[in-house]
Amino acid sequence: MAEQQMYLTLHCEPCEDCVQEDWQFIRDGELHWAGFEHCPRYEAYVCDDGRGVPPPWIRDRIVAREGTVHLPVGGPDGVPITLLRRVYGLSIAEVAAARKTGYRATPVEARYLSDAATRTSAAGPGAPG
């Protein structure tokens, strides 16, 4: 489950001076995200961060900037279905669709899922994942 922490909410109407930055990263084997907005004209700042998959509006901006990686789902070379459900909270119908067509992850999510799948398979059958 994703955790979210908001430090401050103070925002002007967006103008041409506004700066917006969003990141995803892996820290201590966990997926994290951060968002930062700053308007130097009005000295307004917004910082937001959390664990897990970022909120849709932040993830959409990351996808627009960095694109996606197509990942196979299930099978010997795909992302384990249980891992995909745990990370993204997908329904059974969403997992079934992803099993057929694959899943589009951000580059950081793809690395996290690949690393987690490798750790799970290295631990052997029945290991918690």
Give kind and range of the element (H or E) at residue 114.
Answer: helix 107-123
pTM for this structure?
0.77
Q: What does the block give as tokens for 88? A: 């993204």
pLDDT 10s digits, 69-109: 999 999 888 999 999 999 999 999 999 999 999 999 999 99
Helix (H, G, I), strand (E, B) or coil at 90: coil
Q: List phi, psi (to 5°) of 71.
A: -115, 135
List pLDDT tens digits, range 99-127: 999 999 999 999 999 988 887 666 555 54
DSSP class of residue 125 equals T
Q: Round to whole Å and give the CA distance between 3 and 126.
A: 27
